[in-house]
Amino acid sequence: MDPRAFSRTAAPAAALALLVLVGGTGCTGGDTGVRGTPGAVGLRDPYFPKLGNGGYDVRHYDLTLDYDPAGDRLKGTAEITARATQDLSAFHLDLRGMTVEGATVDGVKAAANRAGGELTVRPRDDIDKGAEFRTVIRYSGTPETIIGPDKSEEGWLPTEDGGLAVGEPTGSSAWFPGNHHPSDKATYDIEVTVPKGLKAVSNGELTGERTSGGRTTFAWHEAQPMASYLATLAVGDFRVTSSRTPAGLPVLTAVDPAVAKDSAALLGRIPEVMEWGAKNFGPYPFSSTGAIVVPTDEVGYALETQSRPVFPVDQFDEETLVHEIAHQWFGNSVSPASWQDVWLNESFATYAEWLWMEDVHGTPVRKPFDAAFADDANWAFPPADPPGEEDLFGGPVYQRGAMVLHKVRQAVGDETFFSVVRGWAAKYGHSNATTDDFVTYVEVETGQDLTELWDVWLYGDKKPARP
């Protein structure tokens, strides 16, 4: 999909490509005589400069996967449809670990080289700017578990009878090659074959299931653009339930039998949370909903994987359910333009919890606001400027971010605030947004100059006097 962030990175990417060309590694184009240059190795994300790749924009991922839990081996074919945003002599894909067995571009064998987390594909002929092309990567291996700087695990997490893929912020490159930056969203087909008796659950809707020769294949389709960090795959013994919300939206839940009893009651409340979300944030942006609930030792945190968030059972509580469902609007539909903008995800998801407590349990937002204000850890840095990668999911991003939203609500009043929240979700839905986009949007929509509010609550280095 067309990443808005590309407009910000296009100039430096072109400059970089030009340098490479002058350096002599550019190659002459094919029949057209166009001189293509290699796409940039990364999108210069402030936290992960090599994440994502320049020179193309992915439209669709068609993943055909085969997972063998006994050997913890994944075999995959990734068919990636993309549009070139420059004349390309070569392009990068992000892929960690795994062995690449072959690559083609538009059906013709292409050279594939690995270096670190980068896979470079060099097609026989250059690809013209604006052309849609299809690259197929065949790969296999034991997918990696990535330990983040904050010690959290992401990527592929092997479990007792299968595995779980969670990808925020960079883990999805452990199980499929792609443009793994949130600015390049795409639609997905994910087809997974597992031993008969096990299930494979992913994003979106189940479009097919067939068993032959002791193996079962599950086909999943995600019809709305998805950032790759929101792709998931859960393989194992799951109890799968399909139903519909009163509004007719499909609900698909998958629960490990060991935690089925403990999660049944809250799973039944998904329709209620969905309805509450739509009332406050506007129409739900995706074609289905649900949840994946796993034992606590399988993953240490919940994740808002698109249309079907993942929960360890010890965190499958009302507030976390509200948080992950709120992310479907904020984070999944309105996605960060870069990882610096992740506070736009977490502030809204946290504030949704506060609103739910107020609406449903009569706890005024003032209470969690005061508690967040009092905790000095939430004042360690401004929400939109985590000092390092290890701070991307720190208290200031969640709690101080939610405080920013509450200050806006106080400044503009409830009616305007909720119309701004819905307008924001509508205007930037299925797209990407920056912190600047947000500040500008709020000021334009409310007609108020909120400079002081932003200076103190969003950008300030010091904790202000208690309001």
Positions that interact with Zn ion (CB under 5 A): 346, 349
Cα 171 to Cα 263: distance, rounded to the nearest angstrom: 27
Beta-bridged to residue 127, according to DSSP, are 88
Shortest Å, Cβ 439 to ligand TRP: 22
Asked if 107 and 141 count as a contact pair (C-beta separation under 8 A), the reply is no
| Closer residue to Zn ion in complex, CB, 299/349 | 349
Shortest Å, Cβ 435 to ligand TRP: 17
Shortest Å, Cβ 256 to ligand TRP: 19
Shortest Å, Cβ 6 to ligand TRP: 24
Asked if 174 and 47 count as a contact pair (C-beta separation under 8 A), the reply is no
Shortest Å, Cβ 346 to ligand TRP: 6
Residue 448 interaction partner, one of Zn ion, ligand TRP, none, beta carbon < 5-8 Å per kind: none
Shortest Å, Cβ 323 to ligand TRP: 6
Q: Measure Cα distances from 47 to 128, 149, 160 in Å.
A: 31, 12, 33
| Closer residue to ligand TRP in complex, CB, 219/433 | 433
The contact set with ligand TRP (CB under 6 A) reads: 148, 150, 152, 168, 301-304, 323-324, 346, 393
Q: Could you give phi then psi for residue 188, rounded to 5 degrees?
A: -140, 140
DSSP state of 39: P
Cα 89 to Cα 126: distance, rounded to the nearest angstrom: 5
Residue 441 interaction partner, one of Zn ion, ligand TRP, none, beta carbon < 5-8 Å per kind: none
Q: How many CA atoms lie within 13 A of 319 on its CB side?
A: 12
Cα 341 to Cα 351: distance, rounded to the nearest angstrom: 16
Q: Measure Cα distances from 149 to 104, 154, 386, 392 in Å.
A: 35, 11, 13, 10
Asked if 242 and 250 count as a contact pair (C-beta separation under 8 A), the reply is yes
Residue 433 interaction partner, one of ligand TRP, Zn ion, none, beta carbon < 5-8 Å per kind: none
Residue 192 interaction partner, one of Zn ion, ligand TRP, none, beta carbon < 5-8 Å per kind: none
Number of neighbouring beta carbons within 10 Å of residue 240: 15
Cα 221 to Cα 73: distance, rounded to the nearest angstrom: 23
According to DSSP, the β-strands at 108-109 and 111-115 are unpaired
Residue 190 interaction partner, one of Zn ion, ligand TRP, none, beta carbon < 5-8 Å per kind: none
Asked if 399 and 381 count as a contact pair (C-beta separation under 8 A), the reply is no
Shortest Å, Cβ 218 to Zn ion: 27
According to DSSP, the β-strands at 250-255 and 289-294 are parallel
Cα 148 to Cα 153: distance, rounded to the nearest angstrom: 6
| Closer residue to ligand TRP in complex, CB, 304/437 | 304
Shortest Å, Cβ 340 to Zn ion: 16
Number of neighbouring beta carbons within 10 Å of residue 345: 24
